[in-house]
Amino acid sequence: MERLPSIIEGLAAVRKAIEVGKSFVDGLPFFARGFAEQDFSLGTGMSYGDWFRTLDSVIERLNRVSSLPAEEVAGLVADCRKLAAHLERYAQYLETVPSKMRMAAQFIQLDEQTLRSAEEAPRFAGAVRELRRDLEALASELEARASS
């Protein structure tokens, strides 16, 4: 449970990063927007909305985990494990962002800052994987605590 604050902070950072990505996608031309939204959903396993709902729900329950009834802890454990699996897919997706943006730049105009930002995405993948491991460990801790 000592990792709890950093896990919550990490999940909030992932949410913020996804918000930034969605904001970028929302600004794309219509045809490109649909493609980018579908690519994100297929690549990460969840739509933007599903990511926001899942992250918000897990963060909210983690913030009050010490007062959750046992049946809610079991649901939280399941959601943490599900989210951890999606975090791995998100990390894999982040590793593909630079090449996808370079390809997109052949069809739509992208500014240099956007392209530079895209090159940074794979660096965030490592932090996402570390967060995934911490979240899985926390789920195991919570499960053990709930069963004792």
Q: What pLDDT shows up at residue 28?
A: 81
Transcribe the chain into DSSP letters: -TTHHHHHHHHHHHHHHHHHHHHHHHTS-HHHHHHHHHHHHHHHSS-HHHHHHHHHHHHHHHHTGGG--HHHHHHHHHHHHHHHHHHHHHHHHHHHHHHHHHHHTTTS---HHHHHHHHHHHHHHHHHHHHHHHHHHHHHHHHHHHH-
Number of domains in the chain: 1
The answer, yes or no, to whether residue 136 has pLDDT greater than 80, is: yes
Q: What is the pTM of this model?
A: 0.89
Of 32 and 57, the one with more pLDDT = 57
Model confidence band, residue 120 (pLDDT cutoffs 50, 70, 90)? confident
Average pLDDT over the chain reads 89
Domain range holding 134?
Answer: 4-147
58 or 29: which leads in pLDDT = 58
In tens, the pLDDT along 58-113 reads 999 999 999 988 889 999 999 999 999 999 999 999 998 877 767 665 666 766 77
